[in-house]
């Protein structure tokens, strides 16, 4: 599969995740999150010198994160494997019985993936800023604060999805246990400094509505 064809497939996959709407549901349960899949498919195209004899490193995407993407673990493994020619992204990718996905990679692959995910996170934060949404990621990828006005609420879903998925991936690649991760989310009204919503995923579900700014 060519890179252009791969990007076309990813754009199609991503379309459903950024449809907008007045009700913004901040939960990882039933929303398609395409970023992790797209990065896994594109990030290492053209990479070389990744097959190494260094000790294998295991990275696991927890089943909660896998489920919110809208595909089974087996389907995602198949899609990701299409771009993993010559083990560019990982030496081994497989689905587990509990619905999680395991990646086995060496140190060079891990560092390359960390760099790419961090670069993508920085680009996403800058794009969000240009769209009127300030994003701040806390130390060790444990928290995200979004600050914006209700005028750009319709755009929030896109940046929430891309930022949070990046951050969770970075947690996993930084050694977080897949059965013990969490991410604190805070939404602040830029005009007043008021905290509109806050909570911790995956334990909590946070809903954002236009009326929240009027309370």
Mind giving me the DSSP string for 121-140? HHHHHHHHHHTT-EEEEPGG
28 membership: H or E segment, kind and range: none
The partner residues of 59 in beta bridges, in order of sequence, read 103
Q: 């949404």: which residue's tokens? A: 133
pTM: 0.77
**Separation of alpha carbons 40 and 173, rounded Å:** 13
- pLDDT number for residue 52: 56
In contact, 108 and 50? CB cutoff 8 Å: yes
144 membership: H or E segment, kind and range: strand 143-148
- Tens of pLDDT along 22-77? 343 343 333 333 444 454 444 444 444 455 556 889 999 888 777 766 689 999 89
């Amino acid at each position: 599969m060519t890179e252009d064809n791969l990007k076309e497939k990813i754009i199609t996959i991503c379309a459903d995740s950024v449809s907008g709407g007045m009700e913004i549901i901040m939960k990882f349960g039933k929303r398609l999150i395409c970023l992790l899949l797209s990065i896994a498919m594109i990030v290492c195209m053209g990479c070389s010198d990744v097959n190494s004899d260094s000790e294998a490193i295991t990275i696991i995407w927890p089943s909660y994160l896998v489920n919110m993407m809208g595909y089974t673990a087996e389907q995602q493994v198949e899609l990701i494997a299409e771009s993993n020619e010559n083990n560019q992204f990982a030496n081994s990718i497989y689905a587990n019985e509990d619905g999680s996905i395991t990646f086995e990679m060496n140190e060079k692959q891990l560092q390359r993936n960390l760099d790419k995910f961090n670069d993508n996170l920085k680009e996403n934060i800058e794009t969000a800023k240009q769209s009127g949404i300030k994003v701040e990621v806390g130390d060790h990828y444990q928290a995200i604060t979004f600050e914006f006005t209700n005028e750009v609420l319709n755009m929030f879903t896109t940046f929430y999805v891309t930022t949070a998925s990046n951050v969770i991936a970075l947690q996993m690649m930084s050694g977080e246990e897949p059965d013990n991760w969490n991410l604190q989310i805070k939404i602040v009204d830029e005009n007043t400094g008021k905290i509109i919503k806050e909570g911790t995923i995956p334990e909590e579900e946070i809903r954002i509505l236009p009326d929240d700014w009027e309370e």
